Amino acid sequence: MSPVATAPALVAVVRRRAPERRLDLVGIVPLIGQAPHAEAWRRWLDRRRHGGLDYLERTREERADPRRRNPEARSLLVFGQRYTDGWPAEERADWLATVSRYARGRDYHDVLLRAVKALLGDLRAEWPELRAFPAVDTGPYLERDWAEAAGLGFVGRNTCLIHEALGSGLFLAVAPTNLDVDDWTAVPRPLYQVAERPADPRPGTDRCGSCTRCLDACPTGAIVAAREVDAGRCLSTWTIEWQGRAPSDERADQGARLFGCDVCQEVCPWNARAARQADRRPPPDPAYGPLGAHAELTLADLMVMDAGEFRRRFRRTPLWRQHPEGLRRNALVVAANTGRRDLRPLIARVAEQDPDAEVRSVATWALAELGGES
């Protein structure tokens, strides 16, 4: 039997509990069809935009329609949690400045999932038959598409989910559930938000307006069209997802990006606006702030970090998604691209002694970029 909530009862529990759970956005949609942009998703795969991320292709139809994986689901809860409030100017000068802002603290898979499970526990206290299957990132769901449908924000031309007050520095999670609502028309979109949005002077218009800053600024031209990223060209894929190889012709485009890329969010006016108004609301969960232990490290340490040290340092952080070889390779590319001639003796040693052939080859390239052996 599916539990049935009234809209006011659902709103009451969510609005009372979400702030305690440090969730910034919560929404719900009835699960009565495919994801709203399922066709755009299929087209994206057909155009081979997934950059070798084969797990996406393998779950093609499950992602298009969550009822395939969860036949008993009646609704989909969607959650958002800030990791930064807008995009305040970069103050760091150490290696962490080369790491995307989402990845400087604790692993969001753990932090957000814990918060979501806690809120689901709150809901279960009210509707004991509630069954829910929460997923952060790794489930076969088009999280941005559902977040937009549930009223958490809009999908910008950079493909990010943007909340009009909070910007796009948000993680998302979803949970298919067996919860039904007696009157879906009475459900507010979203159920809860930590910050009110500005009144929209032009309802119904494309929130990006005539802006194309993200498309113009992307270092690799990965935003091939509005709301279409070619993952194979995205620096986020190169630096986080691709373990063995680094595209040799385009290493210079990586610039000073060690892990992930924030350019298409840094230039977004919605994030500048969010940063200006950040003092009007509670700060993001401190779990996403830079970890103290990271301060002990330097770029040079990363170039020679072995698997044991990598595990000790990064096990519960987003950097764990890479392999130690991938991180060493990225550190070498950053050293070359930022003109770190002081690191040439160390890079020469890596070129000779690193156990990984790809890392040795990138080190040789980096030495050449830096003006030969010292």
Q: Which partner, ligand SF4, ligand B12, none, binds residue 98 by CB below 5 to 8 Å per kind?
A: none
Q: Which partner, ligand SF4, ligand B12, none, binds residue 145 by CB below 5 to 8 Å per kind?
A: ligand B12
Q: Which helix (H) or strand (E) holds 66?
A: none
User: Given candidates 213, 316, 323, 344, which one binds ligand SF4 under the rule CB under 6 A?
Assistant: 213
Count the Cβ atoms, other than its own, within 10 Å of residue 311.
Answer: 12
Using CB under 6 A, which residues numbered 259 to 298 contact ligand B12?
260-262, 264
Could you tell me the smallest distance in angstroms from the CB atom of residue 212 to ligand SF4? 6
Residue type, 221: G
Residue type, 347: I
Contact status, residue 109 vs residue 315, Cβ threshold 8 Å:
no
Using CB under 6 A, which residues numbered 227 to 266 contact ligand SF4?
229, 234-236, 261, 263-264
Question: Maximum CA pair distance of the chain?
Answer: 73
Tell which residue, 75, 93, 88, has the closest CA to residue 27. Answer: 75
Could you tell me the smallest distance in angstroms from the CB atom of residue 40 to ligand SF4? 16
Cis? peptide before 8, omega within 30° of 0: no
Q: Which partner, ligand SF4, ligand B12, none, binds residue 267 by CB below 5 to 8 Å per kind?
A: ligand SF4
Is 44 a residue that touches ligand B12 (CB under 6 A)? yes
DSSP state of 73: -
Q: Is 279 a catalytic residue?
A: no
Q: Name every residue whose Cβ is closer than 8 Å to that of residue 350 and which is 6 or more positions away in sequence.
A: 303, 304, 328, 332, 359, 360, 363
Spatial separation of the C-alpha atoms in residues 339 and 347, rounded to whole Å: 12
DSSP state of 135: B
Applying CB under 6 A, the residues found at the interface with ligand B12 are 35, 37, 40-41, 44, 53, 56, 100, 102, 136-137, 141-145, 148, 155, 158-161, 168, 170-172, 227, 229, 231, 234, 236-237, 241, 260-262, 264
**Which residues would be at the binding site for ligand SF4 (CB under 6 A)?**
156-158, 208, 211-214, 218-220, 222-223, 229, 234-236, 261, 263-264, 267-270
